[in-house]
Structure 1
Amino acid sequence: MLSFKGSSLFFCLGLPLATLASTPLSNLPSTNKLETIVVYGQQTKLALEAEQALTPGGVTLVDAADLYQRNVSSMADMLRYVPGLWVASGSTGDSSYFSSRGSNLDATNYDGNGIKLLQDGLPVTAADGNNHNRDVDPLNASNAVVARGANALTYGASTLGGAIDIITPTARDRAPLDIYFTSGSDDQFQGRMSAGTVSDSFDALLTIEARRWDGYREHQQQERESLYANAGWQFNNSVRTRLYFTYIDNDQELPGNLSRDQWKANPEQANPDNVIGNFLLNVETWRVANKTEWDIDDASSLSVGISYEEQDLYHPIVYSQFFSLLIDTVQRNTGTAIRYNLRQGSHDLLLGLNYGISDVTGGNYSHEGGRRENLTTRVDNSADSLELFLVDRWQFAPNWTAVYGAQAVSARREVRNIAVSSNIVRNPEADYDSINPRLGLIYQLTANVELFSNISKLYEAPTNFELEDDERGNEETLNAMQGGVFEIGTRGSQQLGTASEWHWDIALYYAQLKDEILSKDDPNAAGTSLSTNVDDTIHSGLEVLLGANFVLNDGSSIQPLLNLTVNEFSFDDDAVYGNNDLPAAPDYAMKGEILYRNTNGFFAGPTFDIIGKRYADFQNTYTVDSYKLLGLRAGLTGEDWEVWGEVRNITDENYVSLFSVKDVAAPDAAILSPGEPRAIYVGVRLQL
């Protein structure tokens, strides 16, 4: 069993979560006494719960065990029960549209900015903040942490939407052999096999995976092969290290968007231009990383990590008789993360540093049917980002904890595009610097209930995509978006009788932003966009996660779960848009299920989605209607196996999953991406 004595992430293992805010940190018992009681995987989960309890704002934990009891093929599936996020699966295989607390609500949603993605605390997001083609496999996780908005300070994230950290499974929390298969509608097949070994201070895990999918629309096929590996060594009682390797080769066709008339007539069709142009998104990625942890003594620890990634992109995306665009580039990302934790008396100090460097080289080409032809633009873009932060969690009185700190951000962006025909160079570049303070309070109301609040500064520099798309078209650069947010909330659990309980996680926030970066379509160049800063916007919302476990007389139980998000995102007395709503995100979204679980391992119950209306343009002239979906899932679990089945969209509702954003969307604009029709999936897992 590995020892985690002194680690900042594991200092509270074995303690009831509710005692964290009422027990002086100096009085916490040594984790050495717990090593024969708690297995590694459970230690990780308890540590993440402890970190959540010491965050005065919205943080949600995702247990990957549930992901093997339903169809999970994208991040939208994984994050189904995370409030505050609008994550919609598109019609492009694994790809999902992300928005957290109103991030990414514009025409450049393909860059996925506003959320920092990490694996094991190390960056996956590029240094300029874009998540374009980020390959994160939701099934290659043991847990995930979603820290929304400014609550991602302890991850060093300087983003409007926060951070998502995927915790990689190891051989210590997986069976020696783990086999998983799923199959379903539209010829979906997904298979993965993990094999691991543990020998004293050494462990290693290897996972191979493949996915095939024809898609529910024309020109939507996907083929993906992946390999994941990690190995860890415990050098002594104080020092341990882990190496990670990832390889993903993902090829997929892009069916494109439809007009409202096309969507209603036949949602399964592809946009004709996408078929003629053979639009593709082919990405080959490899990534290597290392993380080393040192327990200096009982009160302090140090963690150092580094990662390197290369990504080859082949992406025909625009085609007409006048203009075509194929992007063929290589992106390289290097990142490092350092964390020093010191517990002294009633203080728990965390000092962290993130540094990332990214560059993109290659070019834009014309193409014919997806075949690369003439080079039109040479691309040589670069970015770096330094995030330095200090947080103190100070229990200054019984049941009261103050969480305060600040983040220093220093970032550089440079776009260098050379037009081949004229040799004209466009080279916008800028530096971005900011200090972002944060102050929060946690009050332990009862043993299992806490109240929290915080006031924080928000800051996010533009991505290189946004600089490249600046509507001014010269060497001027966009301002960083920034503002302040106030948040209050509560989380906890309450017993109902002797066996039943219910739990909740509720946050209410209000943010005012200045210079929010928004992009609209370029009317003179289909498939491209124009970015600009807008003066003032408001982002506010209610985030609710409710769940319960009602135990019946025979020991079986009813387990309802509800994710409710209410959004209010709008301009604030804008000279052009007045107080219009921002597009893309629905005004409300409810996702839930009610499961019956028998003591013999059988479970079954309905699922539902109730999604409010959305606007597809800044002028609020084009409304995308609300929709309701009904599903059903069931399964049976044994000691070392489980099987499940799921039916989605039982009523075969024709709905819009996501869409492109315009300034003013014409009634016949081809901007809609249809959602998944009725579909059936089955899966089986063996752990030997």
Structure 2
Amino acid sequence: MKSFLPLFALVSAPLTLAAQEPQNVETLPTITVTADRESLTTPTLETKRELMNATIPGGVAVVDAEDYKRGRASTLKDALDFAPGVFIQPRFGAEESRLSIRGSGVQRTFHGRGIKLLQDGSPLNLADGGFDMQAVEPMAASYVEVYRGANGLQYGSTTLGGAINFVSMTGHDAPAAQARVEVGSFDTLRTQLSSGGVYGDNDYYVSLTTSFSNGFRDYSQQSSQRLFANIGHRISDAIETRFYFTYVNTDSELPGSITKDQFQRNPQQANAGNVAGRQKRDFRLFRIANKTTITDGDTQTLTVSSFWSWKDLDHPIFQVIDQLSNDLGIDVRYDNTATLFGHDNHFTLGLGAVYGVTQDNRFLNIGGRRGARTADNELTSSNVDLYLQDTFHLTDTFSLVLGAQGTFASREFDEETIFGADNTASRDYWGFSPKAGVIWEPQKDKQVFVNVSRSFEPPSFGELTAAGAAPGLVDLSAQWGTTVEVGTRGRTDRMRWDLVWYYSWIDDELLALGIPGVSATQTVNAGRTIHQGIEAALDVDLARGLFAQADGDKKGDRVLLRQTYLLNDFRFDGDGAFGDNDLPGVPRHYYRAELVYEHPCGFYAGPNVEWAPQSYFVDLDNTQSAGGYALLGFKLGVRRPKGPSFFVEVRNLLDQDYVATTGVFKTATPATAAYFPGDGRAVYAGVEWKW
């Protein structure tokens, strides 16, 4: 009864006044206040961040899309540049990048491997593990979840790199209408039209983007059209279902890598062989997914996710690769947050399965056109993951986390007998990956954590079938790793930090060591390797209230320093051929920072820097290296939740020649084409309007 007294007082007060003063009383219009229900299928950024911090004793982060939308937002690098622990560098200023976490897929300079890339919780990877960066639209995301290493267990990921999940905007957080145009150097033009809304128990979001760029380098034209949409329906207070639709059409010229001498003479030139072969990577992707969440409104939640994707790839390189892929998968996850023995507890149990078939046809490359057929293969992949994790709060400040994943993976290769030989082969892989960790929170919003985990990664067809003319599948084992990580994260009034040290012992790492007499670049299982490093992020409010004072809920202005730092120490461990050589392809030190002034009106401005202070090797023999570099940039703009916004951004302000990333070789010489030059000075500007 006591809780209703304030409400009773508010209702009865006008009646009491009326009795005391009988004069006419003006009747005010009725005001109805309603609160938009949070989507069951798509938690808010704040909800997701709190859940990750409370249940995961390791490297995780949430990237707010509003942060990267304050500048050019075209590529995965634009979106993930300030995500702690993520190393990403475009090969030629476009979406195709080297994406690595903790040295995952360190030898891979095409597509992606060693990370589970997801869209709204469903894999974008093909069933064999490879993925395309062009399948993601950063502008359609509300936020991005980054799980480093086995911390991605809730998505069935125990790879060395972990998982990255792009979470779409919905009608609950999208503007009714939005238009955005970006223009800039190298004839860049990028547009977006989007709309979202809530109508009773239904909501929708749709985004259409187009982009075009001639690129900094010769023969590096890129274009794409992307449609991302979702429709949600609240069946009841306890059940919500959401359908996702994706269409991507992307064309990319491939300028290739060049020698160090060619880079020094003219970093804009393309590899002559790539131009002669009209090398490209073009594909169309169509994807349908569904996510249904059922909750009892208290402690139990069941989430069922499913998807089907279709991809048609036209890829002239050393051959013309023509692939048609169909992949489908389902994931069922149960979460229970009921107390256990009187203590808070969060239990997760999940089962995921993915199946994919790729029709792989190959032809001689005659100036980018199909010549005689060289292969007619069918590639079939399947993966089944059973995973569980429990976070048990022993006290208010101390939590114990235990988890494990069991995995079965199958790779089947069926070559049609166009050469009179049957090269059918298959490989099966079994893995068990346990993890254990603790979280200590001595004060609110300040945590220390430790965990130990196992990682498991079976090879993709890119490793299993790349042995030139060798028949069937290469005999490869899965890559295993044991990782220890220690870290802290938290925030104070003026500071936010994320600091992790990790050490990984890797067995059978998949590296391109070559097979004598077969292929100099064939992937094989290396001996013991070590991956260790530091992943750090630190945001500090250096000054506040310079021109606008905070007042209650009203924010003041500030000067913010954002920083991320990576120490990448990846090397062989007493290898018979390579000793303790560094693993190539990733700089040992990498630093990213921006110093920005922010005003509550939405204005922001400031410089930024990207710094790799020392050279790093491009080959396993450690004979050739790419130089370090330092890039200066500047950004200013105004961003508002409604109405007009704009930005102007200058990248590589001093027009430095630098190598953005490299190929990876066993042995490199001065004549080896190993270097991918980064973009020269570039200016971009954008205008956005929200209604």
Could you say whether these structures have the same fold, taking a TM-score greater than 0.5 normalized by the shorter chain as the test?
yes
How far does the alpha carbon of each residue in 1:145-200 deviate from its partner, in whole angstroms, 9 at most, with x for none?
01001111111113110000110111211111011110000000000100223211
Q: Which moved more, 1:258-267 or 1:633-642?
A: 633-642
Structure 1 partner of 2:7: none
Query: The residue matched to 2:268 in structure 1 has which SS?
Result: coil
- Counterpart for residue 21 of structure 2: none
Deviation at 1:110, TM superposition (A): 1.7
* Cross-structure match for 2:424: 427
Residues 186-234 of structure 1: per-residue CA shift (max 9 Å, x gap): 0000001002232110111221111111111111111211111110000
Query: Shift in Å at residue 448 of structure 1?
Result: 1.8
- Kindly provide the amino acid, as one letter, of the partner of residue 627 in structure 1: Y
SS of residue in 2 equivalent to 1:142: strand
Higher mean alpha-carbon deviation, 34-43 vs 144-153, is at: 34-43
Alignment partners' CA distance in 1, 2:252 and 2:130: 20
| Alpha-carbon separation, structure 1, partners of 2:246 and 2:474 | 38
SS class of match (2:78):
helix
> What is the distance in 1 between the residues matched to 2:85 and 2:534?
7
Q: Which residue of 1 aligns with 2:279?
A: 279
**1:335 is aligned to 2:329:** yes
| TM superposition shift of 1:58 | 0.3
Task: Report the AA paired with residue 531 of structure 2.
Answer: H
Give deviations 1:76-98, integer Å, cap 9, x for gaps. 11110112221001216321211
Deviation at 1:109, TM superposition (A): 3.2
1:439 and 2:436 matched: yes
Task: Name 2:366's counterpart in structure 1.
Answer: 368
**1:537 equivalenced with 2:534 (yes/no):** no
For residues 255 and 422 of structure 2, the distance between their equivalents in structure 1, rounded to whole angstroms, comes to 33
After the TM superposition, list the runs of 4 or more consecutive aligned residues in structure 1 that deviate by more than 4 angstroms. Answer: 37-43, 470-476, 520-526
Q: Which is further off, 343-352 or 145-154?
A: 343-352
Task: Report the Cα distance in structure 1 between the residues aligned to 2:679 and 2:208, rounded to whole angstroms.
Answer: 27
Conserved 8 A contact 1:347-1:392 = yes
Aligned to 2:192: 192
- Cα distance in 2 for partners of 1:193, 1:662 equals 43
Partner of 2:85: 84
Instruction: Quickly say closer, same or farther: Cα 1:617–1:483, change in 2 above 3 A.
Output: same
- Residue 523 of structure 1 deviates from its aligned partner by 9.3
In 2: Cα distance, 1:133 partner to 1:275 partner = 23
2: CA distance, partners of 1:375 / 1:288: 32
Separation of aligned partners in 1, 2:145 and 2:576: 39
Q: CA deviation at 1:640?
A: 2.3
Return the alpha-carbon distance in structure 2 between the equivalents of residues 137 and 419 of structure 1: 40
The offset of 1:328, in angstroms, is: 0.5
- Equivalent-residue separation in structure 1 for 2:205 and 2:248 (angstroms): 17
Preserved CA contact (<8 Å) 1:521 1:662: no
- The range that moved more, 192-201 or 546-555, is 546-555
Distance 1:458 1:330 in 2: 30
Q: Secondary structure at 1:159's aligned position in 2? A: coil
2 CA distance for matches of 1:424 and 1:133? 36
Aligned length: 641
Distance (whole Å) between structure 2 residues aligned to residue 81 and residue 111 of structure 1: 21
Identity of aligned residues (%): 32
Greater C-alpha Rg: 2
User: Secondary structure of the residue that 2:679 maps to in structure 1?
Assistant: coil
- Matches of residues 58-69 of structure 1 in structure 2 within 5 Å? 58-69=59-70
Deviations 1:320-373 (A, max 9, x none): xxxxx1101111111111110112212211011111011110311012111112
3-state SS in 1 of match to 2:173? coil
Query: Residue 77 of structure 1: SS of its match in structure 2?
Result: helix
- 3-state DSSP of counterpart to 2:83: coil
What residue number does 1:22 align with?
none
Distance in 2 separating the partners of 1:179 and 1:66: 18
Aligned to 1:390: 388
State the partner residue of 1:243.
243
Secondary structure of the equivalent of 1:65?
helix
Q: Among residues 508, 520, 524, which one is paired with 2:501 in the alignment?
A: 508
Equivalent pair of 1:547/1:562 in contact (CA under 8 Å): yes
Q: Distance in 2 between matches of 1:384 and 1:119?
A: 19
Q: Deviation string for 1:39-91 (max 9, x for gaps)?
A: 66995111211222121000011100112211121111111011222100121
User: CA separation in 2, counterparts of 1:419 and 1:467?
Assistant: 19
Counterparts of 1:124-523 in structure 2, within 5 Å, are 124-132=124-132, 135-318=135-318, 325-345=319-339, 346-418=344-416, 420=418, 422-469=419-466, 475-495=473-493, 501-520=494-513
Superposed displacement of residue 248, structure 1: 0.6
SS of match in other structure, 1:530: coil
User: What is the match of residue 681 of structure 2?
Assistant: 678
Counterparts of 1:97 and 1:577 in 2: how far apart (Å)?
Answer: 24
Note the alpha carbon deviations across 1:111-141, whole angstroms, 9 max, x for none. 4110001111111111211114651112121
Please report how far the alpha carbon of residue 256 of structure 1 lies from its aligned counterpart in structure 2 after TM superposition. Answer: 1.1
Please name the residue that 1:601 is paired with: 602
Comparing 67-76 and 676-685, the one that deviates more:
67-76
What amino acid does structure 2 have at the position aligned with 1:686?
W
Tell me the distance in 2 between the aligned counterparts of 1:296 and 1:411. 34
CA distance, structure 2, for counterparts of residue 418 and residue 159 of structure 1? 33
Cα distance in 2 between the residues matched to 1:167 and 1:143: 6
- The one-letter code sitting in structure 2 at the alignment partner of 1:441 is V
Deviation at 1:276, TM superposition (A): 1.4
What is residue 29 of structure 1 aligned with on the other side? none
Give the match's secondary structure for 1:131: coil
1:461 to partner: Cα distance: 0.9
1:614 is aligned to 2:616: yes
| Per-residue Cα deviation, 1:520-573 (whole angstroms, up to 9, x for no partner) | 4789899x8301001100011000000022313433210100010001110001
CA distance in 2, matches of 1:141, 1:524: 48
Residue 653 (structure 2) aligned to one of 641, 647, 650: 650
Distance of 2:513 and 2:507 partners within structure 1: 18
**Aligned match of 2:629:** 627
Q: What is the alpha-carbon distance in structure 2 between the residues aligned to residue 133 and residue 143 of structure 1? A: 17
8 Å CA contact 2:317–2:365 kept in 1: the answer is: no
Contact 1:360 1:381 in 2 (8 A): yes
CA drift of 1:600 comes to 2.8
Q: Is the 8 A contact 1:470 1:532 kept in 2?
A: no
Amino acid at match of 1:519: A
Counterpart code for 1:532? V
Q: AA paired with 1:669? A: T
Distance (whole Å) between structure 2 residues aligned to residue 601 and residue 439 of structure 1:
43
Q: Distance in 1 between matches of 2:411 and 2:88?
A: 27
1:567-587 C-alpha deviation (Å, 9 max, x unpaired): 111000111111001111110
Q: Is the 8 A contact 2:151 2:162 kept in 1?
A: yes
- Change beyond 3 A, Cα 1:475–1:226: closer
- 8 Å CA contact retained: 1:92, 1:254: no
Report the Cα offset of residue 425 of structure 1. Answer: 3.2
SS in 2 for 1:263: helix
Give the drift of 1:668. Answer: 1.3
Any stretches of 5+ residues in structure 1 without a counterpart?
1-33, 319-324, 496-500
SS at match of 1:261: helix
How far did residue 36 of structure 1 move? 3.0
SS of alignment partner, residue 109 of structure 1: coil
Measure, in 2, the Cα distance between the counterparts of 1:316 and 1:92: 20
Q: TM-score, normalised by structure 1?
A: 0.90
Whole-Å separation in 1 of the counterparts to 2:270 and 2:599: 44
Question: Following TM superposition, by how much is the alpha carbon of 1:38 offset from its aligned partner in structure 2, in angstroms?
Answer: 7.9
Aligned partner letter, 1:204: Y
Output the TM-score relative to the length of structure 2.
0.90
| CA distance in structure 2 between the aligned counterparts of 1:134 and 1:220, rounded to whole angstroms | 15
